[in-house]
C-alpha cells in the first residue's frame, strides 16, 4: 500500500529556533501534499496544501511566513516552523493521495511529528 | 462548505459489545466519506471509505459503516468490541478529486474488560 514517511517523529527545540519536518511519499508520486496540525485531544486542522513546483496554499489564519512549505520534488514536501514559540507546540501530520484517476482515493498519512518548543 | 459532526467525544463499551460511533456530515456536493483511526502519537490509518455504489461499506478490523443520504449520516459500527479497538476515531468528508479532507472532532473509544 501507499506509504507516507514523516521525519522526525519527535523534536524538542528552544524558542526562537527553526524546525524542519520532512514528508516523503515512499512508493508513489505526490503532486500535492496536505499539512495538518492537531492540538491535544482535538481534531486535525488543515494548515496548507503543498503543491510540487509551485507555492503552497495556506488556510485562513495560518501564517505563511511562519510555516514555510517547500515541495521541491514529487516525493518530498517540507514544513519549516520558523522562530518557533511555545504556542507552536503541536502534532503536525502530513498526508498525500495516490492519484488513480478515480475521485475516491483516500489520503495516506504520515505518522506525525510531535513538536515541543521550550 | 463541508463539515462533519461526530456526536460524543468519548464512547465507552464493554469488550464484546456493539460499537457505534456517530457521524453526520454536511456537503453541497455528493460526498466522499471516510473513517480513520488514530492510536496515540501516531498518524491516521484508513478504516473504510464510501464513494459511490453500495451504501454499506466494510472496512478493516471488522468495522463497517452505512451511508444514509436522507439522514446525512455515516455511522461506524462493529458487532463486537475488542480491547485493541481502543483509539481515537475520525470521520472525514471530501469533495473528491485531489482535495483535502475535512475532519470531525473525533471520538475516543474506550473498551472495558
- Model pLDDT, residue A29: 87
Question: What's the CA gap between B9 and B89, in Å, rounded?
Answer: 10
- Phi, then psi, of B62 in degrees rounded to 5: 80, 5
- Model pLDDT, residue A70: 93
Question: What's the CA gap between B96 and B91, in Å, rounded?
Answer: 15
- Model pLDDT, residue A93: 95
Written as nine digits, the cell of A62 is: 495560518
- Model pLDDT, residue B64: 98
**Widest CA span in chain B:** 42
User: Of A4, A44, A112, which is closest to B42 when you measure between CB atoms?
Assistant: A112
Residue B90 in contact with residue B38, Cβ under 8 Å? yes
CB proximity B105 to A under 8 Å: yes
pLDDT at A8 over 80: yes
Task: Please state whether beta strands A44-51 and A57-58 pair in parallel, antiparallel, or not at all (unpaired).
Answer: antiparallel
Sorted by sequence, the CB contacts under 8 Å of residue B99 that are 6+ apart come out as: none
Indicate the average pLDDT of chain B. 93
| Spans of chain B below 50 pLDDT | none
Task: Please state whether beta strands A4-7 and A19-25 pair in parallel, antiparallel, or not at all (unpaired).
Answer: antiparallel
Residues of A in contact with B104 (CB under 8 A): 43
pLDDT at A33 over 90: yes
- Model pLDDT, residue A107: 86
- Residue in this structure with the C-alpha cell 505518522, named with its chain if needed: A111
CA nearest A59: which of B45, B1, B41, B31?
B1
- Phi, then psi, of B11 in degrees rounded to 5: -125, 135
3-state secondary structure of B84: helix
- Phi, then psi, of A86 in degrees rounded to 5: -55, -35
Do A103 and B41 make contact, defined as CB atoms within 8 angstroms?
A: no
Residues of A in contact with B102 (CB under 8 A): 46
Query: For residue B10, what is the nearest residue in chain A, using CA coordinates?
Result: A41
Residues of A in contact with B53 (CB under 8 A): none
User: Of A44, A106, A110, which is closest to B49 when you measure between CB atoms?
Assistant: A106
* Minimum mean pLDDT range among A35-39, A56-60, A105-109: A105-109
Question: What's the CA gap between A14 and A29, in Å, rounded?
Answer: 34
Question: What's the CA gap between A38 and B42, in Å, rounded?
Answer: 11
Q: Tell me the per-residue pLDDT of A45-57, one tens digit each, with 9 for 90 and over.
A: 999 999 888 899 9
Mean pLDDT of the region A26-40: 90
- Residue in this structure with the C-alpha cell 473504510, named with its chain if needed: B48
Residue A33 in contact with residue A18, Cβ under 8 Å? no
- Model pLDDT, residue A101: 59
Do A106 and B45 make contact, defined as CB atoms within 8 angstroms?
A: no
Sorted by sequence, the CB contacts under 8 Å of residue B46 that are 6+ apart come out as: A106, A107, A108, B34, B35, B36, B59, B60
Amino acid at each position: 500500500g501507499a506509504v507516507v514517511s514523516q521525519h522526525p517523529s519527535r523534536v524538542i527545540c528552544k524558542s526562537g529556533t527553526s524546525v524542519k519536518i520532512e514528508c516523503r511519499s515512499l512508493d508513489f508520486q505526490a503532486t500535492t501534499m496536505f499539512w495538518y496540525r492537531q492540538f491535544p485531544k482535538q481534531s486535525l486542522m488543515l494548515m496548507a496544501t503543498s503543491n510540487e513546483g509551485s507555492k503552497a496554499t495556506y488556510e485562513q489564519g495560518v501564517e505563511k511566513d511562519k510555516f514555510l512549505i517547500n515541495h521541491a520534488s514529487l516525493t518530498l514536501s517540507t514544513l519549516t516552523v520558523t522562530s518557533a514559540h511555545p504556542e507552536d507546540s503541536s502534532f503536525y501530520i502530513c498526508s498525500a493521495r495516490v492519484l488513480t484517476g478515480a475521485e475516491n482515493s483516500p489520503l495516506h498519512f504520515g505518522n506525525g511529528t510531535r513538536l515541543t518548543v521550550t | 462548505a463541508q463539515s462533519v459532526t461526530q456526536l460524543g467525544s468519548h464512547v465507552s463499551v464493554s469488550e464484546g459489545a456493539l460499537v457505534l460511533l456517530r457521524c453526520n456530515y454536511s456537503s453541497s456536493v455528493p460526498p466522499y466519506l471516510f473513517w480513520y483511526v488514530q492510536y496515540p502519537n501516531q498518524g491516521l490509518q484508513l478504516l473504510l471509505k464510501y464513494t459511490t455504489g453500495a451504501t454499506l461499506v466494510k472496512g478493516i478490523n471488522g468495522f463497517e459503516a452505512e451511508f444514509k443520504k436522507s439522514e446525512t449520516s455515516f455511522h461506524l459500527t462493529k458487532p463486537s468490541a475488542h480491547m485493541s479497538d481502543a483509539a481515537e476515531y475520525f470521520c472525514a468528508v471530501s469533495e473528491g478529486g485531489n482535495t483535502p479532507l475535512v475532519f470531525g472532532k473525533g471520538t475516543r473509544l474506550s473498551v472495558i474488560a
